[in-house]
């Protein structure tokens, strides 16, 4: 009682508050120190991993049983490695090589649906074919590691030459252009953008002016496409076009566009393309290229 009265006098507590304080303080100490004491006690116990080890052994056994291209022990067949062509090998031959029944059926079904294997790595496209098993049988597959670019290109050009269907180069979209071997999305967009800023192709040789197109691809594109003989390109009117409109044309530089507009402002309308000789140094070849894309009325 004296201790309770001392707490009450020291802290200014009432009797009930002092009694609560005496209960709270020991409880806090018990909560704070119980966890360290438990850890100390646990550290002095002998570890028992038998339960965890049993679970790991069980999981490992289940994993081995469900291996994608492994058979259960009672179904394991003797494996013999020999050269084989996945386009002609039978299901029994595949299983003799170590294919699981499921994987061999999948390969045969793929062939029956019209699929073919052109290179060794095509086998990896089969669902269930793991890389470890593929590496084991890779040296026995009677297919090349990769198709040579020259063979692919020659085959593509031969197909283009035999094809009777050609597309209009001035109307082809990016999808048609990408059908040509060697033209991807970037080159297809670049061809279309150049064609639109030019006003249309008048001859296939203008494809050499598209950045990134090499002569081999241009040759394929020339074989696969045509330009209408009566095609009339989109033109720019020298007497009305703005400087910005002029300089977007591939054959007109920014300097030339500025000179064209300045001359028109100072001296009036253009009468013919020969007037361009008065404002800037241009050669006959450049004017000949530019003439079909200009008008003066």
pLDDT tens-digit series, residues 127-183: 888 888 898 898 889 888 887 654 555 555 555 555 556 889 999 999 889 988 889
Is the pLDDT assigned to residue 190 strictly greater than 90? yes
pLDDT score recorded for residue 145? 84
- pLDDT tens digits for range 240-263: 999 999 999 998 888 888 988 988
Query: Which tokens in the block code for residue 223?
Result: 């074989």
Inter-residue long-range contacts of 154-162, CB under 8 Å, 24+ positions, other chains counted: 156/181, 156/220, 157/181, 157/219, 157/220, 157/223, 160/220, 160/223, 160/224, 161/223
CA distances from 259 to 236, 250, 263, 284 (A): 15, 16, 6, 18
Mean pLDDT of the chain: 80
Nearest by Cα to 246 from 276, 267, 268 = 276
Query: E-assigned strands of 164-243?
Result: 167-168, 225-226, 236-237
**Domains in the chain: ranges and CATH:** 1-30 (no CATH), 73-140 (1.10.150), 149-226 (1.10.150), 236-295 (1.10.150.320)
Per DSSP bridges, beta strands 236-237 and 225-226 are: unpaired
Mean pLDDT of 82-88: 89
pLDDT of residue 66: 46
Mean of pLDDT values over 187-207: 94
Residue pointed to by tokens 């003439």: 291
Q: Which of 13-17, 53-57, 159-163 has the highest mean pLDDT?
A: 13-17
For residue 108, pLDDT beyond 60: yes
Asked if residues 168 and 111 have their Cβ atoms less than 8 Å apart, the reply is no
Q: Tell me the pLDDT band of 59, cut-offs 50, 70 and 90.
A: low
Q: What is the Cα–Cα distance from 164 to 166, expressed in whole angstroms?
A: 6
Is the pTM higher than 0.75? The answer reads no
Confidence band for 72, pLDDT divided at 50, 70 and 90: very low
The alpha carbon torsion through 215, 218, 220, 226 (nearest 10 deg) reads -150
CA angle 262, 200, 274 (to 5 degrees): 35
């Amino acid at each position: 009682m004296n201790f309770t009265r001392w707490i009450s006098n020291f802290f200014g507590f009432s009797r009930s508050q002092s009694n609560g304080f005496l209960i709270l303080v020991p409880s806090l100490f018990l909560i704070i120190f119980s966890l360290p004491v438990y850890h100390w006690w646990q550290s002095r116990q002998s570890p028992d991993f038998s339960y965890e080890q049993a679970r790991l052994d069980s999981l490992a056994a289940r994993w081995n049983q469900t291996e994608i291209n492994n058979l259960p022990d009672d179904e394991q067949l003797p494996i013999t490695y020999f050269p084989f062509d996945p386009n002609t090998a039978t299901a029994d031959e595949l299983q003799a090589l170590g294919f699981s029944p499921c994987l061999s059926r999948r390969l045969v079904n793929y062939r029956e649906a019209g699929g073919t294997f052109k290179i060794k790595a095509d086998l990896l496209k089969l669902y269930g074919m793991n890389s470890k098993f593929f590496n084991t049988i890779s040296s026995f597959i009677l297919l090349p590691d990769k198709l040579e670019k020259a063979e692919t290109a020659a085959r593509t050009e031969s197909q283009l030459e035999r094809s009777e269907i050609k597309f209009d180069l001035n109307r082809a979209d990016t999808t048609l252009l990408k059908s040509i071997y060697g033209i991807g999305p970037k080159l297809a967009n670049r061809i279309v953008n150049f064609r639109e800023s030019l006003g249309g192709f008048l001859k296939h040789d203008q494809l050499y002016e598209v950045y990134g197109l090499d002569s081999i691809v241009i040759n394929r594109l020339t074989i696969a496409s045509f330009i209408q003989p009566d095609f009339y390109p989109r033109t720019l009117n020298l007497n009305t076009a703005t400087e910005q409109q002029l300089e977007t044309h591939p054959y007109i530089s920014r300097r030339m566009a500025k000179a064209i507009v300045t001359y028109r402002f100072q001296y009036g309308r253009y009468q013919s393309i020969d007037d361009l000789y008065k404002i800037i140094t241009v050669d006959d070849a450049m004017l000949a290229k530019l003439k079909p894309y200009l008008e003066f009325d």
